[in-house]
Amino acid sequence: MEQKIKEVQEYFISKILNSQFIITHKEEYTWNLTIDEKYVFEIWMQNAPVYRKPKPVHGVNFMDLGFTDKQAIELDKILKPLYKEWVNDILIEKKRKELKELENI
């Protein structure tokens, strides 16, 4: 049984590290990565790379993937630029709203 679980973990880790996922939900601290249009893994995005010890967050993950340090760094290289772009977009929109409010004063 342990060998089968390890195989399934390796399957999902491989999919994630090969960017074979869809980001289905984004929040400030976590993102949901969906694999094969069915399996959702919530990944902690703050203070990355922290994927080394991913935990089931809010009951989303059905299994712990247990990324190694090397895999965590690889995942960080994939997700961090996307996360930074997303955060920048949010900050830019926030500043635009603030500017508009100031212009209306």
CA-nearest of 45, 33, 41, 36 to 85 is 45
pLDDT at 5 over 60: yes
- Tens of pLDDT, residue by residue over 67-86, are 888 888 888 889 989 988 99
8 A C-beta contact, residue 63 and residue 5: yes
pLDDT of residue 91: 83
- pLDDT 10s digits, 26-63: 988 888 999 999 999 988 887 655 554 444 455 567 78
Whether 93 shows a pLDDT value over 60: the answer reads yes
Greatest C-alpha distance within the chain: 66
